[in-house]
Chains A and B, each alone.
Chain A
């Protein structure tokens, strides 16, 4: 299938201060119908998008963190987190949600597709992508 491209959604901003995170997620959800090879990447304040236990009840904002947990069902195969961004914000992988993935045809399963990478690996993943959507 030569028409399958490697899509990378690069998320750089905190989830609720601006609309970028939510509208990025909307592209990922719609894009699932196009059967491309889809990865997400979280750098800078974007790492806050994956922090578990977020509570938006007093800010009158829809809490969309649960949606990230379902991304495995939307054809997202990898979710990469920048190690330096995480550490700079005092976060570790334990603070992040887990996202499971399963291939319905082969029944191959991955318990958690959220993966922490160092800067070199992050750069390599971006380099390998055919399309980078930057939000």
Chain B
């Protein structure tokens, strides 16, 4: 099955991001296609490389990165949501005159059209949130 995943909540605050990760990983291991994981609302906070959880806790950001490296997963942060919450890549830093970037590797920032496109193209859109 061709799947799209939407993540609506931030890491650590809410289970949604853990559930989304485990679902995505399980789907990929079962041989399903995950066309895209789209991060919206506070979900964009899954994509900052500056996250530093305690050593005895899971590293949610790195977990996504590793999954993306293994399966060539498309991890997309909504640009409007990312701008509001201070998630910045090179392009956004230049456009908005910011002095730093913080996006994690394998993530990219793009528009809401990417969510709509995923919903159109996939057999299922699976939403994780409150």
Contacts and interface: CB of A to CB of B under 8 A. Distances in A.
Whether A associates with B in a native complex is yes
Interface of A: 3, 5, 7, 19-20, 23, 26-27, 30-31, 33-34, 36, 131-135
B115 interface: yes
B127 interface: yes
A7 B129 CA distance: 18
Interface of B: 6, 8, 40-41, 80-81, 111-113, 115-117, 119-120, 125, 127, 129
Q: Which 5 A-B pairs rank lowest in CB-CB distance, beginning with the nearest?
A: A30-B112, A131-B119, A31-B116, A34-B116, A134-B127
B119 A33 contact: no
Given A31-B112, A131-B125, A23 B119 contact: no
B120 A5 contact: yes
A27 B115 CA distance: 9
Given A131-B125, A133-B127, A134-B129, A27 B41 contact: no
Given A20-B41, A23-B41, A34 B127 contact: no
Contact of B113 (A3, A7, A34, A131): A34
Nearest to A29: B112
7 contacts: A5-B120, A20-B8, A26-B112, A33-B113, A34-B117, A34-B120, A36-B116
Question: Chain A interface mostly helix, strand, loop or mixed?
Answer: mixed
A7 B41 contact: no
Contacts of B6: 133
Contacts of A27: 40, 112, 115-116
A23 B129 contact: no
A41 to B, nearest CB: 14
Given A26-B80, A31-B112, A134-B129, A5 B119 contact: yes
Contacts of B115: 27
A132 B127 CA distance: 9
A135 B41 CA distance: 10
B13 to A, nearest CB: 13
B125 A23 contact: no
Nearest to B85: A19
Contacts of B112: 26-27, 30-31
Nearest to A13: B130
Most buried by A among B80, B120, B127, B129: B120
B10 to A, nearest CB: 12
